[in-house]
A and B are shown apart, each in its own frame.
Chain A
Amino acid sequence: MGLLSKKDAKLITDPLADNNPITIQVLGICSALAITAELKASLVMAISVLFVLGIGNVVISLMRNIIPSKIRIIVQLIVVAALVIIVDLVLKAFAYELSKTLSVFVGLIITNCIIMGRFEAFALGNGPWKSFLDGIGNAVGYGVILIIVGFFRELLGSGTLFGIPVLGDPIAKTGFYAIGYENNGFMIMPPMALIVVGIIIWVQRTRNKALIED
């Protein structure tokens, strides 16, 4: 890590595991449950949040000394909203089908608690470079969980990954389906996303007992 000092590197690596926004801070759960039925949607959501949070943190950090604290929430909302609209328009232009799958959830990035949380907790009190790293770190930490959940839900629920059948054809009964395997319809429903996130939290806290709160 020659590029980053130890402290800066921690800003990125901490949210990946021991201070993960989803599994430790339990923020951003709604989108993690709603759009993770497909891996592709999870990935796009992760990238969108990466973009919004990375740039948003820098913008807020640059303005932190001139924002009157009474109206800071409104200013933050305007910044996020502007960035989300950019993401939304890009998706509509270049990946229309996908933007239909994600539907309102792209717009709802505005209310994603992770983003407002990082603005409030970090960008308002730190310089732009540090805020950028913090934004990237948290967005990646969020994205990693999304992708893990999306991977299992799509694989077990639909037998595909990125829409490509990997377990065989369920109708023509090839591959795994020839020996009687069937897709698990429960995996596609949101409750199962909650259970998968729960299992990730369980595994993580079993590996690192220091994370268990009383």
Chain B
Amino acid sequence: MGLKSNLHNLKEKYKGTKMAPAFNAIHTFLYLPNETTHNGTHIKAADDLKRTMNIVIMALVPCLLFGMFNAGYQHNLAFGTGSAVTGGFLSPEFWTLDNFLIGAWKILPLVVVSYGVGLAVEFVFAIIKKHEVEEGYLVTGMLVPLIVPVDIPLWMLAVAVIFGVVIGKEVFGGTGMNILNPALTIRAFLFFAYPTWMSGDKVWVEGAVKQDQLIAAGENLDAISGETILGSLAQGKEAGYDVMDMFFGFIPGSVGETSTLLILLGGLFLIFAKIGSWRIMLSSVIGALVMGLIFNGVVSSGWITEGSKFYTLMNTEFWHHLLIGGFAFGTVYMATDPVTASQTNKGKWIYGFLIGFISILIRVFNPAYPEGVMLAILLMNVFAPTIDHYVVQGNVKQRMKRLKAKTA
């Protein structure tokens, strides 16, 4: 009882003072507080905000662990100290302790910085605005390390997290009031502020940037190239990974986005837990497939020549788009964010479809940055309220018509 009663005493001691929310937050996060609601008609279901967040985090943990193994695997593969996978998902070359340790050594600091800085900002705002600390950052803090390159400098991540939480969320009024998904705001900030650390063929493999600097300093080493599949395709090169590698996730990319298999399982888990919206996920996949088919159609009807710089990406088989880049991760974990997505069921179909559609559109046509899911989701976040408005208005109109027909 030591820590709990101490925390409780601290809470009592600072009750009514400025610092109270900070102590309350630590106390309620670690323990069940002494004062709980015993009855009340407002309790509709057992899942409160904290449990919702915990379920999403549980769905993310496999991606995080896989990301650690993959970071080490990509490192060893690029530096010639490991061998390529041979078997299926459970290849022994991949699941080695060495891979895990290398990855964990790089990725745990990302997680710590993301949570440390983000929660610090939340605590400061809770104290200034005199409300309790909200749980909103728990998921964002887990998403952020999963959508950045493994080699990103920690201070950049810290700056971006401060920006994302303050400008993306707190200025709008905190958890539940934000227009844009905070994790994607953080990533967008990083992408526009430090593009050299968010794209290119170095940042995706642990140690490749350092190797580059050593070469620049005159050492006789081989440059490491860890281009993502989309990066290669955008330059008109074939990436040379087979489909199963892409599906299992043995490819370079942001920390948690590579394994489509685990994301799929996480998505199913979210759907069964009734946290993530299956409408958004499904319609987003449909949108991506439609856009992919259109591009394939453009290629097969010969409207663009092989010399065009869009040719390779357009010629990518339409369903491969689901396996490469951050599309699967964004669709499952970020497009479904209940705060920033459309609220109406019809709206969710439109919202998801357009995310998938625009993702692939940007992916193919943006030469500087061959990935579109981040920008597509942010764009649709902005339009979600508009979509909802027209869905609701449409419904109102229909019912008015019905009423008129009845009374006439």
Assembled-state Cα–Cα distance A195/B195 (Å):
19
> Which of B159, B171, B192, B193: most chain A CB closer than 10 A?
B193
Between A and B, 23 residue pairs with Cβ closer than 8 Å are A180-B153, A180-B155, A181-B155, A182-B153, A182-B156, A182-B194, A182-B196, A182-B197, A184-B159, A184-B193, A184-B194, A185-B192, A185-B193, A185-B194, A185-B195, A186-B189, A186-B192, A186-B193, A187-B193, A189-B192, A195-B167, A198-B171, A202-B171
In chain B, what residue has the closest Cβ to A157?
B193
CA distance A184 to B167 in the complex (A): 16
Measured in the bound complex, the distance between the Cα atoms of B159 and A185 in whole Å is: 13
Give A70 to B192 CA distance when docked, in angstroms: 49
Question: How many angstroms between the C-alpha atoms of A153 and B196 in the bound complex?
Answer: 19
Residues of B close to A185: CB separation below 8 A: 192-195
Residues from chain A with a CB closer than 8 A to the CB of B153 are 180, 182
CB distance from B101 to the nearest CB of A (A): 24
Shortest 10 CB-CB distances between A and B: which pairs? A186-B193, A186-B192, A184-B193, A185-B193, A180-B153, A182-B194, A185-B195, A195-B167, A186-B189, A185-B192
Name the prevailing secondary structure of the A interface residues.
helix
- Residue on A with the closest CB to B159? A184
Residue of A184, A189, A198 most packed against chain B (CB within 10 A): A184
Q: How far is the CA of A181 from the CA of B194 in the complex (A)?
A: 11
* Chain B residues within 8 Å of A, Cβ to Cβ: 153, 155-156, 159, 167, 171, 189, 192-197
| Interchain CA distance A170-B155 in the complex, whole Å | 17
Chain A nearest CB, measured from B339 CB (Å)? 21
Q: How far is the CA of A198 from the CA of B167 in the complex (A)?
A: 10
- Taken together as a complex, chains A and B put the C-alpha atoms of A186 and B189 apart, in Å, by 7
Q: How far is the CB of B200 from chain A (nearest CB, A)?
A: 14
- Taking CB atoms, residues of chain B closer than 8 Å to A180 are 153, 155
Within 8 A of B (CB), among A163-200: 180-182, 184-187, 189, 195, 198
Complex Cα distance A84/B74, Å? Answer: 60
Question: Which residues of A are found within 8 Å of B167, using beta-carbon distances?
Answer: 195
Q: Which residues of B contact A182 (CB under 8 A)?
A: 153, 156, 194, 196-197
What's the minimum C-beta distance from B171 to chain A, rounded to whole angstroms? 7
B155: nearest chain-A partner, CB-CB: A180
* CA–CA, A181 and B153, complex, Å: 9
- Residues of chain A with a CB closer than 8 A to B195's CB: 185
Instruction: Please name the residue on chain A nearest to B153 by beta carbon.
Output: A180
Most buried by B among A186, A195, A198: A186
- Chain A residues lying within 8 Å of B196, measured Cβ to Cβ, are 182
B110 → A minimal CB distance (Å): 16
Q: How far is the CB of A155 from chain B (nearest CB, A)?
A: 14
B159 to chain A, nearest CB (A): 8
Distance of A189 Cα from B188 Cα, bound (Å): 13
When chains A and B are docked, how far (Å) is the Cα of A122 from the Cα of B385? 41
Chain B residues within an 8 Å CB radius of A189: 192
